[in-house]
Amino acid sequence: VYYTARLIEAGEAPRFVLRRLIIFASEDIGLADPQALVQATAALTAFDMVGLPEGTLPMTQAALYLACAPKSRTVVQTYAAAQARVAAHGTLPVPMWLRPGALGDAGCRHNNLPAELATLPGAAPLFEPSGQGMEARIVAAWRGRQHINEGRGPLGNAATK
């Protein structure tokens, strides 16, 4: 919060500070507390509605929330893994089941997908959860649904029993 105030008092544009809070919410907190991104974007919306000087209050509220939130870099790491997968395997065609309207035409429902539909090229999983904060609960729920995909998770991970 000190550095937020310092930036504003030094003349930095408040929207730039709010942009950094939004990035921080995804980059350093992510799934550990998904509400962090909601708080940061709500602060931007509130700032746009009220302006200065009162707009610093929702900005401060968001900064406090983000400072207190559990931290996880899983979002950044997962995207980097996806980028590496694209670099290694090129641009593969989009599977039919991911194309608009394809599930209705294929006669299958989203919760009854064959295992091969859930796999991605390459052996390593893209998503390696940290277990921080809400991320642990999100992953537990996801693992609970893996049996639907016959041993494969929707992110390409092999199911762990």
Q: Residue 17 falls within a domain, yes or no?
A: yes
pLDDT higher than 60, residue 77 = yes
Of residues 94 and 14, more confidence is placed in 14
User: What residues make up the domain containing 30?
Assistant: 2-68
Q: Residue 161 falls within a domain, yes or no?
A: no
Domain count, the chain: 2
Residues 63 and 89 in one domain: no
The CATH number covering residue 57 comes to: 1.20.272.10
pLDDT higher than 50, residue 160 = no
CA distance 86 to 78: 12
User: In the listed set 15, 38, 68, which residue is the last one of a domain according to the structure?
Assistant: 68
Q: How confident is the model at residue 10 (pLDDT cuts 50, 70, 90)?
A: very high
pLDDT higher than 50, residue 161 = no
Listed in sequence order, the residues at least 6 apart from 69 whose beta carbon sits closer than 8 Å to its beta carbon are 29, 32, 33, 35, 36, 133
CA distance 90 to 131: 31
pLDDT digits (tens, 9 = 90+) for 94-140: 877 777 875 555 555 555 555 554 556 666 778 888 888 888 888 87
pLDDT higher than 80, residue 148 = no
User: In the listed set 53, 68, 83, which residue is the last one of a domain according to the structure?
Assistant: 68
Q: What is the pLDDT of residue 120?
A: 67
Q: What is the pLDDT of residue 159?
A: 46
CA distance 17 to 62: 11
